[in-house]
Amino acid sequence: MKKTLIAAAALAGLALTVGAAHADTLKKIKDSGAVTMGVRESSGGLSYTLGDGKYAGFHVELCQRVLADVQKSLGLAKLDIKYQPVTSQNRIPLVQNGTVDIECGSTTNNAARQKDVAFANTTYVEEVRIAVKGASGITSIAQLNGKNVATTTGTTSVQLLRKHEKANGVDFKEVFGKDHADSFLLLESGRADAFVMDGQILAGNIAKSKSPADYKIVGEVLSVEPIAIMIRKDDPAFKKAVDASLAAMAKSGEMAKVYDKWFMQPIAPSNTRIGLPASDATKAAWANPNDKPVEDYAKK
């Protein structure tokens, strides 16, 4: 037991050392001429894979533009962007230990996570909803009683469902997908009756499915959540650079154009359209840059 505790302490110390070694991200980028972007494989229009190591989406493009600004400010002739796929489970540790320099996926900014990582100013405000097959007849939380509900391991969506006032007395079974595509497959294959997740992730997976018309996003809004680009904690210079680049894009109208490209126009690889206009809450975040956590959104 003692040896196990010593080994655990050593590993924890190593993780902190690795993270601390990369706390000055701008210096790391300048010295190496490279940067690692954390990306998701199936996070709807925010971040997804095109295959062959290529990634796309609203947050991926925003990060590419941010890093172009960083490259210019550092006077680098070339910047090698490496793409590292991350999951809901490993995204925070990979940012903490220096494997990933900037995570451009679909991460909710909340108070608990702010203890471990930092967030750039909010670029997308999400509504957590429920996707079902239209033929199921399910339209509300109450109708999930006795059903299998899918969500993605490492996300907060099922906890939000359980805490919702209209979930009182609703007894459902949780089934977990390893990523969002896997969770949608649970719904598609009939192993789950519903999939609870961020609305745009639901819309993105439905748009890419074999029969988009077979699915509906229904029920009460479970949560309104600020989604943001994630970076290492206690690195104010890098956060300032990222926020300044995002603010310039928001002010010039470029951010709205990038959003329109990924959510309102047909996108690769299937040339389908997600069809999700920017919400008033998202537009407000662009107009008034801030890194407030989800807890601030919940305040009446």
- CA distances 169 to 99, 160, 162, 172, Å, are 43, 15, 10, 10
* Same domain membership, residue 103 and residue 8: yes
* Same domain membership, residue 73 and residue 109: yes
Helix (H, G, I), strand (E, B) or coil at 274: coil
How many C-beta neighbours within 10 Å does residue 256 have? 15
* Same domain membership, residue 240 and residue 116: yes
- Nearest-angstrom CA–CA distance, 170 and 158: 13
* Same domain membership, residue 180 and residue 75: no
The predicted pLDDT at position 9 comes to 43
Split into its structural domains, the chain has a count of 2
Domain end call among 226, 241, 261: 226
- Alpha-carbon dihedral angle through residues 95, 100, 105, 108, given to the nearest 10 degrees: 10
- What residue has token string 């190496």? 32
The predicted pLDDT at position 20 comes to 46
* Same domain membership, residue 88 and residue 169: no
* Same domain membership, residue 173 and residue 139: yes
Q: Edge-to-edge, what's the strand order for the sheet holding 34-39?
A: 80-85, 34-39, 102-103, 230-232, 117-119
State the CATH number of the domain containing residue 66.
Answer: 3.40.190.10
Which residues sit opposite 175 in a β-bridge? Answer: 150
Domain end call among 226, 256, 286: 226
* Same domain membership, residue 241 and residue 108: yes
The predicted pLDDT at position 223 comes to 85
* Same domain membership, residue 111 and residue 79: yes
If you count them, how many residues does the chain have?
300
* Same domain membership, residue 39 and residue 103: yes
Peptide bond into 269 cis (omega under 30): yes
Which residues sit opposite 288 in a β-bridge? Answer: none
Domain end call among 172, 201, 226: 226
The predicted pLDDT at position 12 comes to 44
- Nearest-angstrom CA–CA distance, 147 and 170: 9
* Containing structural domain, residue 278: 2-123+233-298
The predicted pLDDT at position 14 comes to 44
The predicted pLDDT at position 6 comes to 44
What tens-digit pLDDT sequence spans the chain (300 residues)? 444 444 444 444 444 444 444 479 999 999 999 999 999 999 999 999 999 999 999 999 999 999 999 999 999 999 999 999 999 999 999 999 999 999 999 999 999 999 999 999 999 999 889 999 999 999 999 999 999 999 999 887 888 888 887 888 899 999 999 999 999 999 999 999 999 998 989 999 998 899 999 999 998 888 889 999 999 999 999 999 999 999 999 999 999 999 999 999 999 988 989 989 998 899 999 999 999 999 998 764
Q: What is the pLDDT of residues 135-184, one digit of tens each?
A: 999 999 999 999 999 999 988 788 888 888 788 889 999 999 999 999 99
The predicted pLDDT at position 299 comes to 64
Sign of the C-alpha dihedral computed for residues 277, 280, 282 and 283 taken in this order: positive
Selection from 47, 205, 204 nearest residue 123 by Cα:
47
